[in-house]
Structures are given as structure tokens and as C-alpha cells.
Amino acid sequence: MTARSALVTGGTTGLGLAIAHRLAGMGLGITITGRDPSKLAAAVAELEGAGASVLGAVADAADWDDTEGAVAAHVERHGGLDVAVANAGFTTAGDLVDGDPGAWRSMVLTNVLGPALLIKAAVPRLPAPGGQIVLVGSVAGRVIRPGSLYSVTKHAVASLGENARLQLTASGIRVATVEPGVVDTPFWDETGMPPVSLHTGVIADAVAWIVDQPAGVEVGEIVVRPTGQLI
């Protein structure tokens, strides 16, 4: 049993894995989720190699039974849950005119339903006061991008964060939304990396700062962009 612990959805690569590393470095027990068993096993091995107490759970963030099961397994392994990070998400190519409707469904469910399911599964297990929920949004949710359904999903994440904060703040469970700009992750593999970007560690540090705030301090929203990103 660890003193404090965190569950990170979509923790097998990129930003989710960086967040898991950073929180493990703070002494938190970690559970990461992912849909690909081989990627999950590799990420668990990497975290264990860095000294983390870590559990890997094969789970689809948009599936209630998977999410509830992952949270229950986390509590059984670590003895409780202090931090829930809804990181799982992705984008699809194209826009409302030329995009693939078959891919939209999975994106909307993962990006919007996924964080809501994690909140529902986590809240009964989080300490009140003291529990922390972190939603990973995007600067794409702060601007209107023509034809971008991904942008719509991240607008929804920002709304969900404030919605949850209003419901939970009286209990002492804190809710924060982190909205990164361009981050150098596999997210950009299909479209190509923009000219300016952040290292994943920058966003992981922002999440760690939120988690490390003293009792009575609730961080609602953080936007982190690379210098030179205009939107």
C-alpha cells in the first residue's frame, strides 16, 4: 500500500506516460490504463524500471465497465485513490465536410464520455476533502476552429471540468483542467509536428503542481502553450 496514489487514463505513451512518471517521482502509487496490452506492458516495465509502484489495466476509457474495473483494481492494489487524471484522447483526420464519420464516434466517446466516466467511477473512492481530479483538455477547446470536431470535444472537456467543480467543490474534492498547446507526442504522427511544441515534461510538471497544492487551494484551469503558438 502506498501513502498516496494516482490513476492516469491513456498512460501508455506520450503525455499520459510522462504524467505517470512525474507523479510516481513524487512518491505516488500509479495505475495506467490503455487499450493495447503490449503497449501497456512496455509502459509498466518502463515505470517499474524507474522505481514506480505501478499497475497496468487494459481498459477502454469510453467503456463504463472497463473504467469502473480499472478504478476498483487501483484501489485494491494501492489501498485507495487520491488523484484521477483523465488523459485518454485522440483526434481524427479531416473536418466536418471531409472527415470520416466512422472515426468520429470513437473520438467523441473517448474525449468526452471518457472523462465523465472516470469522474463517476473515481468520486466515491476519492477522499473528501482532499481528492483531486485532473482533466486534460486542449487549447483547441478555447477557440473556434473551422470544421474541427476535435475542437468541439475539447470545448466539452472544459465545460465538464467546470461542471464537475461546481458539483464537487463543497465536498473538498478538487477539479482542474489542463489545456496544453502543441506537445511533442505521437498525437501528431499523422498530421506532422507544428513548428513550435512543448516537451511532455512541461505538462507533466503542471499536473504535478496542481496535485501538490495545499489543502484549501483549488486550481481550476491552466493553459500552457509553447512560445510562438498563436492560438
Choose, from 150, 173, 179, 200, the residue flagged as catalytic.
Answer: 150
Q: Write the single-letter amino acid at 197.
A: S
3-state secondary structure of 151: helix
Q: What angle do CA 117, 121, 123 make, to 5 degrees?
A: 115
C-alpha cell at 125: 473512492
Q: Which amino acid is at 186?
A: P
Helix (H, G, I), strand (E, B) or coil at 153: helix
Can you say how many angstroms the Cα of residue 114 is from the centroid of all Cα atoms in its chain?
A: 10
115 flagged as catalytic: no
Helix 14-25 to helix 37-49 angle (10° resolution) is 30
Q: Which residues are the active-site residues?
A: 150
